[in-house]
Structure 1
């Protein structure tokens, strides 16, 4: 069982809600994870991503998760056309 620390409040970017958290790892370090949710009710989706890097503090892990969540949303909402 792992303990989750959600130090940052969730932020909204357009239709997305980003909630970063950290989790205590067995070796004493902290892992980062982020939830990116959109929609409401039965039309809602929630993507949870866990990341490989380990961090010394829950705050550092949570900040990394927030940064990655924001990047993911930016990629989803960009209008890039690749040829």
Structure 2
């Protein structure tokens, strides 16, 4: 089950880190939403805890928005 963490507004987007516990550890995903549409990106690294995974996902999502990599 995905756990939503604290969302952050970056420009016109809302970036929400998501975490999930798996056999390999905790995995990270990020939701990047603008209006009613959102895109979900999953990341390969596994983490020891949900806080580390959420921090990584938020940083990656923020970077994608700021570097205009969503086109």
| Same fold per superposition (TM over 0.5) | yes
How far residue 6 of structure 1 moved from its aligned partner, in angstroms, is 2.1
Partners of 1:37 and 1:6 lie apart in 2 by: 14
1:13 aligned onto 2:1: no
How far residue 45 of structure 1 moved from its aligned partner, in angstroms, is 2.0
Runs of 4+ in 1 over 6 A off after TM superposition: none
Partner of 1:80: none
TM-score, with normalisation over the residues of structure 2?
A: 0.87
Aligned-residue RMSD, C-alpha: 1.5
TM-score, with normalisation over the residues of structure 1?
A: 0.76
Gaps of 5+ in 2: none
Partner of 1:24: 21
Whose Rg is larger? Answer: 1
Partners of 2:40 and 2:51 lie apart in 1 by: 18
Partner of 2:52: 60
